Amino acid sequence: MIVKSAFVAAVFFAVFAAVATPARAESSVYHGGTYVGSVVVEPGQMVKGDLTVIAGDATIAGMVDGNVVVIGGDLYERPGAVITGQVNTVGGDVMSAVVPWSSPPDRRPAFADYRMLWHIASALIVVLFFLIFPMRTRIALDRLERHPGLCAAVGLFGWVAVLPLALLLLCTIVLIPFIVLEGVAIIGAIFLGKAALGLLVGRRLCELIKPASTPAPLVALVAGLLLVTAAELVPVIGILVTVFVFLIGMGAAILAFTGEPLVGPAATPRPPLSGPPMPAA
């Protein structure tokens, strides 16, 4: 059952990666007009008329008999390029800042920006944590729902205490091996807390879509992780989202190991039987 669930989650995130990563292929153009996406004018080719490119780059290696306008991209003039009209580019640098993966391969250094793969691998580990520790994840989710402010405060205290605790263990010499244990505990707390946060976000999202139905925990977790991962990939805002996830997730994970364990709803006591007294034998 665990292997099947993990396979389903892997398929979800593979599809998400395919959708979220846009294609970088350039299409050749043979006449003027308006194009969406990156285009290229091949060497020795002549394009008659104005060329307008939206949300992509224009690579000119031939001749354009007209104006060239690039909106949301950049213009690259290769050796031998000829443009008889005016050249205007709008928003190329802005687009690259907002959508980092939109830049063509020749502008990107090798092995640059593997954030998408890292986030997908991290989300898969979160799903694995949920499948291995479902009860502890439910406890962290309960703490997060009931005391979000306390989770944030405890998470802040936990991150602040990481370095002093490591220094204290280092000074004792005898307890130096426990520094490794502390690192493992921090990593586990991050994934456990993110699983609880993903469950919470996914449940709220599913409730908005279908208020009358209760989503399966794995479905809610995958939906929540997709939403959180998409938010983390947004420039500037993504950094704040990641800090929030680490902060409140750490607090929820710490609180999951304190206090009373999570139990099911208390059984409702049955009302006493009423009616005429039973006749004595």
Q: Tens digit of pLDDT for each residue in 172-194?
A: 888 888 889 988 999 988 899 99
pLDDT given at position 3: 45
pLDDT given at position 205: 87
Instruction: Please state, rounded to an integer, the average pLDDT across all residues of the chain.
Output: 77
Separation between Cα atoms, residue 24 and residue 199, nearest integer Å: 34
Grade residue 28 by pLDDT with cuts at 50, 70 and 90.
confident
pLDDT given at position 160: 92
pLDDT tens for 108-142 read 433 334 667 787 888 899 999 899 988 988 999 99
179 φψ region: left (φ > 0), alpha (ψ -120 to 50), beta (else):
alpha
Q: Is the model's pLDDT at 1 over the cut of 70?
A: no
Q: Cα–chain-centroid distance for residue 73?
A: 25
Give the sheet arrangement for strand 68-71, strand by strand.
33-36, 51-54, 68-71, 87-90
Higher pLDDT, 277 or 151: 151
Higher pLDDT, 227 or 103: 227
Smallest Cα–Cα separation from 224: which of 9, 1, 4? 9
Separation between Cα atoms, residue 22 and residue 56, nearest integer Å: 11
Tell me which amino acid residue 158 is: G
Q: pTM of whole model > 0.85? A: no
pLDDT given at position 267: 39
pLDDT given at position 174: 83
Grade residue 157 by pLDDT with cuts at 50, 70 and 90.
very high
Separation between Cα atoms, residue 75 and residue 269, nearest integer Å: 75
Find the helix packing angle between 237-256 and 217-232, rounded to 10°: 140
Please give the DSSP secondary-structure letter assigned to residue 69: E
Percent of the chain exceeding pLDDT 70 equals 74
pLDDT tens for 236-279 read 787 888 889 889 889 998 998 886 554 444 434 444 444 455 45
Domain boundaries, the chain: 28-107, 115-256
Tokens of 212: 């009358």
* Contact partners, residue 163, CB within 8 Å, separation at least 6: none
